Structure 1
Amino acid sequence: MILDAFLIRAALAGVGVAVAAAPMGCFVVWRRMAYFGDATAHAAILGVALALALSWSVFFGALVVALLMAVAVSGLGNRGLAMDTLLGVLAHSALAFGLVAASFLTGARLDLMAYLFGDILAVGWGDVAVIWGGALAVLALIGWRWSPLLLSTLNGDLAQAAGIDPRREQLVLTLSLALVVAVAIKVVGVLLIGALLVIPAATARPFARTPEGMAILATAIGAFAALAGLAAAFRFDTPTGPTIVCVAAGCFALATVVNALGRAVGGGSET
């Protein structure tokens, strides 16, 4: 019974992260924001260190710092700085400062490894509630602003002509991204959050006919990767967070092959 509850908690946590990350990951892919997601995730480790030092909730600390990083990147990017350079500086600096800050905390090293690479097997019912609460908040934000977000993603000028402020929609994405980072940190860790954002969405993209279909398919792929990765990690005694990402990467590789074969067959039939 204990083992059953333990697996149920881990499975619910993994699916909850997939539900939070999939729709956000679609916008990350469409806007080519993968490095933006990495920068926000890397900053979260500084939030973890501050939370441990000040006896705050780790979720709250990661959320606050991830949100500050996302807002800072958006603000500095609008001032004409080269985005790739800016993201590189901020992402690695935030990670380094977070690791240095955590090194001063007594007994924090083992916990820090869990936050870097995830520890889904250690989640409790409270963690599951936080993960699903964050996932539902992300879905609510994205669902509320879906059409304006999509239009501003496709064409900023057209969005402005329709009375939509692209900067406001960017802020919605920023908040959603910070929520996803805070939600996912316990499951896959800050070093792998970017992969869980991008890979399911990239896997779904060739097979989706509509943006909504892509978001739904990405959610299904992410949930499958979480459950299959959890099962594989339990069976082979491998690190769970990296195993989940490996399963997602395998899905992407398979989808790439299937898509290439489909194009080859389609091209051959036309000739």
Structure 2
Amino acid sequence: MPADRAGGVQSLERAFDLLERVADAGGEVGLSELSASSGLPLPTIHRLMRTLVDCGYVRQQPNRRYALGPRLIRLGESASRLLGAWARPHLAELVETTGETANMALLDGDEAVYVAQVPSRHSMRMFTEVGRRVLPHSTGVGKALLAQVPPERARALLARTGMPAATEHTITDPDVLLAELERVRERGYAVDDNEQEAGVRCLAVAVPGAPTAAAISISGPAARVTEAATDRIVPVLHDVARRLARALTT
């Protein structure tokens, strides 16, 4: 390893890796778990975590485990706004091509949060406020996001949220939803068929390789977003998602 990578740069890489591992563990983790997953020795992890605690990016809980700290909130909010700004031109293209409202959402904790939207030009259209948080089991973007996480983590999330019914069509059984998530992975897109709002149909796909779990969608009246329209819209969603992923990672 070059000398300049053996100092500060390597420490930064390790610190950010530990932050991501804490996030992947659900936001709270012990030193021994971090050591097992990262392969780093305990003294190194302890030194890095103490530095992150001192900076406010990590906090130590009364049970001695480490959790993500409050200073990350400001960074996350700023990053979400930037993601929304980068996504809007791509969402505008979706609206131009499909005629329906386009959204982008991220998985934040147990919820899907909308970070960008471009509305349809139709007088009858769907509108979701940027910043709105929804439980993922009843939305297209939520299903696309949940399909990106391991089934056991998805099941644990569903147990925490309780899967309340938004309409009579909402899936409220975790086994049924987990089977639906497997179909999402197989066919490459998610559907919200009157599950979040009666009369509304949504199609969503994951943004492949995004720096955080992200999904884009179109939504509109079920009379327009039909099965026939699905065959036309899904390839457009995938194409836009791929180009958005490149924009977010280059």
TM-score, normalization: structure 1?
0.23
Query: Relative contact order, CA 8 A, sep 6+: which one is greater?
Result: 1
Bigger Rg, structure 1 or 2 = 2
Higher helix share: 1
TM-score, normalization: structure 2?
0.25
